[in-house]
Structure 1
Amino acid sequence: MPVLFSALVPPDDVVGAVAAALDEPDGRLRWEPPQRWHVTLAYYGPDDVETRGEWLARRLAGRPAPDVRLEKAATFPGVLWLTVAGSELAPLARAAGADAEARPYVPHLTLARFPREQPALATRWTGKLAGFTSRHWQATEVVLMTSEREPGGPRYRVARTFELDRA
């Protein structure tokens, strides 16, 4: 059974703006490649794609497409990420099932990982990206993703797409 999660995928020009802001990534961090960049709404773990897709379709029906923007960098232990701003993001994440998770929902886009015991490795990047702001975009779809472990890191595939209501 595949590991599943729901997410928003930034548009290509926003991905390009983030990549340009990173310029030359530091080799001491394990950088996520741009093709894996996403904003997780909810994590489901091992689950049946069809069953979860039907459940998610019911939960997302009629939901408005949120306006989203990526902003400054921050860290969790061992993770460098960009903040995600959008007023309708939390309700959308709750509808997608984020409220079932033990930890509070913090919308973010993971950029890189580093050893938890070496938080200073990310300091350069939180400073460099402190003023970063992408353009706003309307996230008009949610994707249900599968995650498969591979030698170079996880491989994400879109299993299903759910359209949101455009304003």
Structure 2
Amino acid sequence: MRDSTITRAERDGRRRLFFGLRPSADCASSWLQGARLALGEPDWLRWQAPADVHLTIHFLGMVETAAQARLIGTVTAEIAGQRAFAIHAERGLWFPDALRPVVLAMSVTRGVSLTHLAARVANAVRDASLSSDPRPFQPHITLARLRRRHPALPVAPSLSAGRFSASELILFESAGAGGPVRYHPCHVFRFTGSVSA
């Protein structure tokens, strides 16, 4: 359930939104546990809550509340018939790289289905007359964020590869009034079919 706290953005009629996919709870818990065992609890890292672990498909930024219904409509039309597909997470790494780290993440295989979904969502965002994220799609799953630069960054932990089913696309809101950022689902787009084990 969403936190009942009314954020400043909501009072202003805006929300900070993005589209994403959620890995399975087992995968998220396994990666977080492995990373924390390897790195401990350093004060320069802020761990994601297991329920907040996600793969960003398209970042939107601040969106007017009045534009959200239009956005949901264009995405629904654009991804109609999207079938569920498997996502393969490969290894732990500092993203975007160890020289300019922002997050600790799992790298993700850039498969055809995942790349195609990201392109379709970007098309729908443009059709909704919203600004499209200019950054290239670089799929990864964030496990922790760096609070500050670390002068002697340790080697990224060796984490088990994982495979999970992408069966829905989620429109998330980023919310955090002076505290840790949490991600609340605003709308869920279900895919068709299923992925074999």
- Structure 1 residues 67 and 21: alpha-carbon distance in aligned structure 2, compared to 1, 3 A threshold: same
CA distance change for structure 1 residues 50 and 12 in 2, over 3 Å: closer, same or farther? same
Confirm or deny: 8 A CA contact 1:81 1:111 kept in the other structure.
yes
Say if 2:112 is the partner of 1:97.
Answer: no
SS of the residue corresponding to residue 118 of structure 2 reads helix
Structure 1 stretch displaced more, 48-57 or 111-120? 111-120
CA contact (8 A) 1:37 1:110 kept: yes
Say whether 1:82 aligns with 2:106. Answer: yes
AA in 1 matched with 2:188: T
Match of 2:8 in 1: none
Tell me if structure 1 keeps the 8 A contact 2:32–2:143: no
Structure 2 unaligned blocks of 5 or more:
1-13, 127-131
Moved over 6 A (4+): none
The aligned amino acid for 1:153 is: P
SS at match of 1:113: strand
Distance 1:163 1:106, change over 3 A: same
Three-state SS of the structure 1 residue aligned to 2:77 is helix
**Structure 2 CA distance, aligned partners of 1:96 and 1:9?**
16
How far is 1:137 from its partner?
Answer: 2.0
SS at match of 2:84: coil
Corresponding residue of 1:154: 181
> Which residue number corresponds to residue 46 of structure 2?
30
Structural RMSD (CA): 2.2
TM-score, normalization: structure 1? 0.85
Partner in structure 1 of residue 77 of structure 2: 58
Equivalent position of 1:12 in the other structure:
25
Q: State the 1:86 CA deviation.
A: 5.1
Partner of 1:110, secondary structure, is strand
TM-score by length of structure 2 reads 0.73
The aligned amino acid for 1:8 is L
Partner-residue secondary structure (3-state), 1:102:
coil
Identity of aligned residues (%): 26
Report the Cα distance in structure 2 between the residues aligned to 1:57 and 1:139, rounded to whole angstroms.
16
